[in-house]
Structures are given as C-alpha cells and as structure tokens.
Amino acid sequence: MPLILPVKGISPKWGNDCFIADNATIVGDVVMGEKCSVWFNAVIRGDVNFIKIGDNTNIQDGAVIHCTYQGASTTIGSNVSIGHNALVHGCTLQNHVLIGMGAIVMDNAVVEEFVIIAAGAIVLEKTICESGYLYAGIPAKKIKPLSEEQKEMLKRLPQNYIMYSGWFSK
C-alpha cells in the first residue's frame, strides 16, 4: 500500500485513472490531475507548501517532489515526465516538459513548455528555461533548440506511461 498521509488536516487528492505504486509516498497538500502515475519509491511531500500536478504526468521511480516553507510551492503542468531519481523543488514546470534522470530543478525556477532538462542537469534557483530548448549541465544552460522529433517525444512519452501504469491495474 502506498503511504498516503494528511498533514495539518490536509490530505492528498488525485483524479481518475491514476496509478500510485505500492511503495510511493504522497503526503499533505498535493492535488494531482487525471491519468497521472507515481512510480516506485517516488515521494511527493506537500507538507510545508502546496504541490499541484496537472493531467497525464508521470513521476518516475525514486523522484522527489517537494517545496519550501513559506517560500516556494511546486506547480507541475500536464503531460510532464519526471525521470528516475530527479528532484523537483519549489518550482514551476509547464506542460510537455521532460526532467531527465537525476536532474535537479530548484526553488522559483520556471521550466517553460516543450523543454527537456537533460539527465544530471541542475537548474539553479530563479532560472527561466525558455520554451523549445534542451538544457544541460551544472548549472544547466541552454544547449540547442528541440527538434520536431523531440517535441513529438514530449507529447508521446506521457501516453507511454499511461499505458505502462495500465499493466499494474488490479
């Protein structure tokens, strides 16, 4: 059973057709849309501020979603893929974003729509990642415009995770 806990009387909420792995943790002020998936060992901690997640978003194995007390909430759009062991903290991710494996996105950063943050990249506080680009490195820098194939992948990947989560239906 996943660990789902209220914090200060506020319980997590999610829409229809969501998959939450048996060892995922979701606590506090978390609102998730339809057809989302929270994979094995992922943690979504809405204890010190709120976390809002759109539709068709997948939070992959070992990822951590958190925020900052009295400072920075976390807002994640629709059709977002957050890779294995990524850390998304007190920031905004717009629609059709991929956060690569092991990447970190820090407080008050904004990742605009149709952006890929490469595996292992670190997006520093207050960074604005402009729509339509790949960002990589430490600290993350704009590397190149996304190809049409990459933009199509950003549309397709969340649909794949909806399919994968269907494999675990009871």
Q: What is the pLDDT along the chain (170 residues), one digit of tens a residue?
A: 999 999 999 999 999 999 999 999 999 999 999 999 999 999 999 999 999 999 999 999 999 999 999 999 999 999 999 999 999 999 999 999 999 999 999 999 999 999 999 999 999 999 999 999 999 999 999 999 999 999 999 999 999 999 999 999 75
Q: Which amino acid, one-letter code, is at 94?
A: Q
The dihedral through the CA atoms of 32, 33, 35, 36 has a sign that is negative
138 lies in some domain: yes
47 lies in some domain: yes
135 lies in some domain: yes
- Per the structure, the complete domain to which residue 13 belongs is given by 3-165
CATH number of 107's domain: 2.160.10.10
Q: What is the pLDDT of residues 142-170, one digit of tens each?
A: 999 999 999 999 999 999 999 999 999 75
Count of domains forming the chain:
1
44 lies in some domain: yes
Q: Which amino acid, one-letter code, is at 20?
A: I
Mean pLDDT of the chain: 97
